[in-house]
Amino acid sequence: MINIDEDLCKGCHLCVYICYRNVYDIASKPNKKGVLLPYPKDEKECTKCGDCELICPDQAIDLDIETHWWVNEKDSKFNPNFSKKEAQNG
């Protein structure tokens, strides 16, 4: 599953332009930071070549987030999504 971390993405859209399968599209409205976020409009076309993940200057893309051990770890300093979940759960 492709995951784009909204807090890390700055909207440069390199991922959109590099994808040779046209997986991504760009949101029509900016988020609260004023960023037009990319999103996977056609994820079934993704071949997991890894180019988008590699080119992202902010490491905002994770192609296999559900398979990473730290997603389920309670004590992770590396996964911003985990930190967000922690913050939301108090």
Which residues contact ligand SF4 (rule: CB under 6 A)? 4, 9-15, 18-19, 21, 23, 38, 46-52, 56, 58, 60-61, 63
Which 3 state secondary structure label does DSSP give 6?
coil
- Cβ closest to ligand SF4, residue 14 vs residue 71: 14
Q: How far is the CB of 25 from ligand SF4 (least distance, A)?
A: 11
From 1, 2, 8, 25, select the one nearest 79 (Cα to Cα): 8
Minimum gap (Å) between residue 8 Cβ and ligand SF4:
7
Burial of 11: CB neighbours in 10 Å, binned 0-12, 13-18, 19+: middle
